[in-house]
Structure 1
Amino acid sequence: MSDQNEQMLIDGVQDTAPHANGPRRMIARVNAMVLKIVFPFMAQEDIRYYLNGINIRPLVLEDGVMVVATDGHRYVVVRDQHGYAEEEIIVSIKKDALKSCNTKSTFDVMSNGSAMVNDETGQEQFIQPGNSLIEGTFPRIENIASAIGYKEGISGAINPAYLNDALKIGQHFGSIRFFTRDQDSPLTFVVGGLGDLEVFGGIMKMRDSFEQLPRWFPRPVPFELTEV
């Protein structure tokens, strides 16, 4: 029975108890452009169901909210200075929602789990089906992210697809910088500001070794032996 209940939460079939009662109200709002930035870093159909969404958390010491997405191999963090969150939530994002997202639109999450993209006039451009709220505990990226000991540059084995997703974010913002500490620490990237949005992220390294040339590569020979 417990497994069935958990599955219902994963699929977002039922409203969760804290948000199912009372009048519907907005509990979070972020710039809709954030969805385009974080969606590639969000897990897809992961058994860790809480990773199949984005984490929206109100900032205590700064204005706005922090939005985080991770699939366990990389992460991205966005601060929306004008974003709002009544409480920390995890929200699923449908790919179709990205078509309506731009810097002038907003992504609004309601207390009953409904979520939609609205244009600058407040008109609904996309409404996600079902309950978008996901129950669970989102991992704390601050336990992984660090700038101590990092120097600018790229080193270590990096998944090229992950690197490409980071570069796509840089295309939106106009610039991107990479920082490395060692072969095992995440490759960190920071992009230039886009309005009121601040973005950085990290990509975990792949285990690889390149300490000597492969055996099939010819060994060096004296120069005179190479003459015809």
Structure 2
Amino acid sequence: MVALDGPAGTGKSTVAKRVAMALDARYLDTGSMYRAIALAVLRAGVDPTDEDKVVAVADGAVLVVGTDPQKPGITLDGDDVAAEIRGPEVSLAVSPVSATKHVRELLVAQQRAIIADALDHVGGIVVEGRDIGTVVSPDAPLKVYLTASADARAARRTKQDSAAGRASTVDAALADVQRRDKYDSSRAVSPMMAADDAVVLDNTDLDLAGTIDALIGLVEQRGLRVTG
């Protein structure tokens, strides 16, 4: 198992999917699960900062998360929400929703079950998020904290949004990256941080291929490649 943590805009999702494909492993985007709950909260007309109502929505939501790195996908109450959860409204709501203690406990339990199933049936999984190495899977044999400068991450996020047809500017992306960093690293429950035994990989000056090569190199060093 590879636990890949780090802030927004580092390219975690793309990197994690490519590494999982290269290793014939499964893939889990834990952030998409928090985004799906945030979407459920918005659909219910609930204030994302109203913890009691957020908890009620989360308890009633039915998430199905795909683990095929080529087409992971996610559904909320039977609806395909893979595109909708990337919208700006969800991006604003996901931080307070994901800071709710019960929501994190609920989704961490689901994430651990998905990881256990992948390890039992395939033998490997690449999991990306913000608390994988510290909370979800503290015993993961390889923990990597992927980071980059805020400016680099904002530029990447703008390019990603433009490619997906979402309106974005570098200044707006930088403000959002900085907001998410502050919120995620200072929340009381499962704050974003590198695990004590994580390998910190700064990819400010690395392209996608270079980042993937670095991660696969770490997998090889640890002898974690899935075989037969």
- TM-score, normalization: structure 1? 0.25
Q: Whose strand proportion is higher, 1 or 2?
A: 1
Structure whose CA Rg is larger? 1
Q: Whose helix proportion is higher, 1 or 2?
A: 2
Q: Which has the higher contact order (CA 8 A, sep 6+)?
A: 2
- TM-score, normalization: structure 2? 0.25
